[in-house]
Amino acid sequence: MFPLGIDARRFSKDGSYHLKNRWLEFKRDLEDLLSDFGAEDGSPSKKYFDFLDLAVVWSATPGPSGQYEVAPYDEDSWVGRSFYGATHYVTTVGSNHRVDVIELSSLIAALADPAA
């Protein structure tokens, strides 16, 4: 299994790693958050993809979801992770921004059996 941490290249020369002014959302299912991105401006549930940095969810279904692509971190992509324990990330066409996702159901399984 690949590491759940942050790639060493993201740390500064003094060994520190800092993220400032980051936005976090909690949802049961990632799909619910993705639908909030499509809500009308002024809607109480409206969220903006480019403002969000981390989502903590119970379930994240990989694959296309409307205009968003949900992908699990793997051996090749984990070095792009910004947050410890992120299991997935979300991208969208027209944005260089990526939202890290901590899918609790798979994180708990990985922590319970690190050899899996």
Sign (positive/negative) of CA torsion 98, 104, 109, 114? positive
- Give the Cα separation of 53 and 25 in Å (integer): 9
Domain presence at residue 12: no
Domain presence at residue 8: no
For 23-65, what is each residue's pLDDT tens digit? Answer: 899 999 999 999 999 899 999 999 999 999 999 999 999 988 8
Domain presence at residue 3: no
Domain presence at residue 98: yes
Domain presence at residue 54: yes
Sign (positive/negative) of CA torsion 45, 20, 95, 101? negative
Considering its fold, how many domains does the chain have in total? 1
Domain containing residue 46: 21-112
Domain presence at residue 16: no
- Give the residue with greater pLDDT, 99 vs 115: 99
Tell me what percent of the residues of the chain surpass a pLDDT of 70.
Answer: 86
- Give the Cα separation of 19 and 68 in Å (integer): 24
Domain presence at residue 6: no
Q: Where are the beta strands (DSSP E) in the chain?
A: 24-29, 54-59, 63-65, 68-72, 88-92, 99-103
Domain presence at residue 86: yes
State the pLDDT at residue 2. 61
State the pLDDT at residue 102. 95
The answer to pTM > 0.85 is: no
Please classify residue 94 by burial: count the beta carbons closer than 10 Å to its beta carbon, then call 0-12 exposed, 13-18 middle and 19+ buried.
exposed
Angle at the Cα of 82 (from 26 to 89), degrees rounded to 5?
Answer: 60
